[in-house]
Amino acid sequence: MSRKVYDVKEPRCAYCLRGKLSADGETVLCPKKGVMDKYFSCKKFKYDPLKRIPEEKKPFMPEFTPDDFAL
């Protein structure tokens, strides 16, 4: 049994194996459909997990005071 890497609820051209992100970053160059919006998807969609960019979560960094380092 294989495990899904990401839960793909909505397919997007930005995550498609066939598409390449254009220089402007807003459109995808598709060999099947041509220039497409990155949020669009068609029936030829094939998911590529390496194209997904994970959301960056900033690590929690507490603010220290000089009293925290005093002995």
22: three-class secondary structure by DSSP: coil
- What pLDDT does residue 61 have? 83
- What pLDDT does residue 28 have? 92
Give me the residue spans of the domains in the chain.
Answer: 8-50
Distance CA 68, CA 71 (A): 8
- What pLDDT does residue 25 have? 85
Distance CA 52, CA 25 (A): 14
pLDDT score of 5 more than 70: no
pLDDT score of 65 more than 60: yes
Distance CA 36, CA 18 (A): 12
pLDDT digits (tens, 9 = 90+) for 10-55: 788 888 899 998 999 899 999 988 999 988 888 888 888 888 877 7
